[in-house]
Amino acid sequence: LAVIDEVAAGANELGAPEIEAAGLLHRGLLHKRRRVYEPAVEALQRAIDLAERGEDDEVAASAWIHLVRALALLGRLEEAKSGMGHAQAKADRVGDTQLLREAQRSRVVEAWQAGRFDEAIPQQRDLVQWCHEVFGDEHPYTADAELLLANILGDAERHDEAQAGYDRARDVLTRLLGAEHPAVARVALESGVDHMAAGRFEQAQTAFDTAEHIYQTALGPQAIELVVVNKALVQLAVARNDLEEADRRARRSVELARLDGLPAAEELEALSMRAMVSAELGQHEQAIALCREYLERLGTLGKAPELELPALFVRGTLISELSTTGQHDAAEAEASRLLEEAQRHPPGQFAGLETHAW
């Protein structure tokens, strides 16, 4: 990222928008690889503008393609679907085979995040087959294609097929990059998430422990990749009713999420998880303080539509905790705020929360 910043700054001084665009494209790709999607979106949007100014269709096409994926993974599905038209048009204009396949992958990601598994799975199987044919069985692109297919199968609750895909991706990456490469940790993390969804908690614990060990060894104890691992371990500990471990992991998640380079959304998610665990432990005043910190922090961010839904649930937790501790006037005030915020959404979308507030 530091090198990219130097290139972008130099290109800006030279008045070379196409070179600055290429630097920002790579910046977006790095953020996306680290699962930090908000900065990825910002970098890719700037890359598109500069590539258009510099008349570099290939960089513009790549930036559109990856912007669609980042938006989809943030849950901004309407924007992703709209962006897909631009991505496909740019890829068609360039005409490069691999770029067209990358556009297909973005279409897969958009369909996957929208829950259209019957569309996403066959398209991704086709991409996996193409990677085997073009790059060979032992290639990082092929392993990455297998990993994406496994993620989609897991979300479609086809867990055994998903685990077979994770095994193939892990084995290839281990042979190519070594057993303690961060790419191998990523596969372990995704495999653990799928095991947890399937209720296989022991296997999930092993996978998460493997991911944590590799990231710590390869990148250090403050690696931002460990934020996602610790959040997953919070969820696993809660599922196993190990609230002391959940609290330890939640505290660590908040600590890591406050590192430089991470968007505010990461810190907010960590705060909400810690508030939930505190409530489960009966630490009501702590839960109240964390909920208030979340909502105050959110208020400083301006418009953040992707955080509106989590904020409603945090406010719901705050209402419960205030009521439990006998702070009824404060609880009633928060309930009024929740009802007001819920009315900005389609009727019935948050019926359960509205009932809770009433």
Helix, strand counts (H, E) of the chain: 18, 0
Q: How far apart are CA 30 and CA 24, in angstroms?
A: 10
Task: Kindly report, residue by residue over 102-156, the tens digit of the pLDDT.
Answer: 999 999 999 999 999 999 999 999 999 999 999 999 999 999 999 999 999 999 9
Tell me what pLDDT residue 310 has.
Answer: 87
Residue 34 has pLDDT above 90, yes or no: no
What is the total residue count of the chain? 358
Split at pLDDT 50, 70, 90, the class of 173 is very high
Single-letter residue type at 168:
R
Please give the pLDDT value at position 36: 81
Is the pLDDT at 356 greater than 80? The verdict is no
* Terminal-residue alpha carbon distance, the chain: 49
Phi, psi (rounded to 5 degrees) for 274: -65, -35
The whole-number pLDDT of residue 308 equals 79
Give tens-digit pLDDT for 340-349.
888 877 777 6
Spatial neighbors of 151 by CB under 8 A, at least 6 apart, are 112, 162, 190, 194
Rounded percentage of the chain residues whose pLDDT exceeds 70: 97
Question: Cα–Cα distance between 107 and 101 in angstroms, integer?
Answer: 10
Looking at residue 88, its amino acid is: Q
pLDDT 10s digits, 206-222: 999 999 999 999 999 99
CB-based contact 82:46 (threshold 8 Å)? no
d(CA 221, CA 256): 9
CA distance 189 to 211: 6
The residue to which tokens 């989609």 are assigned: 152
* 145 SS3 class: helix
Chain CA centroid to CA 122, Å: 23
Confidence of residue 328 (pLDDT cuts 50, 70, 90): very high
Instruction: Give the pLDDT mean for 292-296.
Output: 94
